Amino acid sequence: MARTRSDKLVVHASGERWEWAVIDRNGQTIDRGHTPADDCQLPTGRGVTLLVDAAACTGLTVELPEMSARRLEQALRWAVEDQLASSAEDEHVVAGPRAADGRLHCLVVARERMHRWHAALAGQVIDVIVPDALCLPWQAGQVSLAAAGDRLLARWGEWSFGSFDPDLFEAMLEGLADPQARWIWYGAGCPQPLRERIGQFSHADRGLPEVLAAGAGQARVNLQGGDFAPATAAGVRRQWLWAAALAGLAVLLAVTTAGVELIQLKRQGDRLDAEILAQFSEAFPEVGRVVRPREQAERELARLRFGESAGVMELLHRTAPVLSAQSQVRLEGLNFRDAQLELTLVAPDLAGLDELEQRLRALDLRADVQSASLGSEGATGRIRVTEGGR
């Protein structure tokens, strides 16, 4: 089917067969199909919105001040290095939006994966690459879910999202019993066991391709940047360099004039900070040290609203990729209490449990083997995982 200038080609790169859809300007699907991942056959067009498996991406938040796009691109890779299990040289990092407290959200993905996606879509012009789960609609107090092939997509925060094995996600629900949580399922095919185990449940009457396509346009992040930015974008930047230089001179003059005003504003800001700290301490007297009042207040409110559910989802989001990568390790049980996630696992031998413990610690998690024993099936052990250093 021929595409008009207002049509959008959306490709969902998940599993061995990728789903594609042509979305019109009204957000409706006018053509759709599937293509093998290793031999993509897609409608021709000017650009592609590529939705990739969120399990291949990591969403992080870092402390970086405002700076130019070029300097930010250089600083980001090293700002996230301490939170990565692999070398920063092997990772592709792009900036996203800033959080309410001024910290910077970013996405990390292996450079090798980016090359594979580009190779699969050779001949196509890729405009946008974004994790699929990040495209699910979300607002405070809501958990959004959808099925994508044999994976379960979930988003439970502004920058909290993931792609899970359904069995692992169902095990995770043992710690999610808060009746105030609003669960929304997008698309078709919600498993009946999952439906029965969720308290307040509603179904959005919209097709998943349309939902994800709309979310991709609002994600405010694009993995198709940095070294992977289209050549045309680099050309446009060069054409505007001279204009930017003139604008920089004008900004310098304006900054000089505003210096006195900045000093006055800083004094006002110091007074406001003192008032905020006083009000925070009055509202949450049990919190000792106050570093980022807004973030800590949101965390305390989330704890009051969802109980322990926010903590278990964060821990499982970080541990799920490690468990999925260990094909010889089997998850037998899961328990979450007092901000501690306890995993009961079966590995071929004790060394397998030790290796898993080390991989979890490499993600800046505190992981400790509580007990281990050898049996006919291998080594059975309990690993306790909490937030914290190594």
Can you tell me the distance from the alpha carbon of 221 to that of 362, in angstroms, rounded to the nearest whole number? Answer: 26
Domain annotation for the chain: domains and CATH numbers: 1-239 (3.30.420.380), 245-306 (no CATH), 312-387 (3.30.1360.100)
Q: DSSP letters along 146-209, please? A: EEETTEEEEEEETTEEEEE-HHHHHHHGGG---TT-EEEEESS---HHHHHH-SEEEEE-S-HH
What pLDDT, on the 0 to 100 scale, is given for residue 227? 79
Higher pLDDT, 386 or 234: 386
Is 108's pLDDT higher than 80?
yes
Q: pLDDT tier at 234 (50, 70, 90 boundaries)?
A: very low
Higher pLDDT, 49 or 328: 49
Contact 133, 159 (CB under 8 A): no
Least confident piece of the model among 35-39, 94-98, 194-198: 194-198
pTM for the whole structure:
0.62
Alpha-helical segments (H) within the chain: 69-79, 111-120, 166-172, 192-197, 208-216, 231-239, 241-257, 259-283, 293-306, 309-325, 350-362
Percent over 90 (pLDDT), the chain:
24
Amino acid at 288: G
Please write the tens of the pLDDT for every residue from 171-197: 776 555 455 668 888 887 676 667 666
Mean pLDDT of the region 211-233: 82
Question: Which phi-psi region, left, alpha or beta, contains residue 215 (left: φ > 0; alpha: ψ -120 to 50)?
Answer: alpha
Q: pLDDT tier at 104 (50, 70, 90 boundaries)?
A: very high
Please write the tens of the pLDDT for every residue from 334-348: 887 777 888 999 999
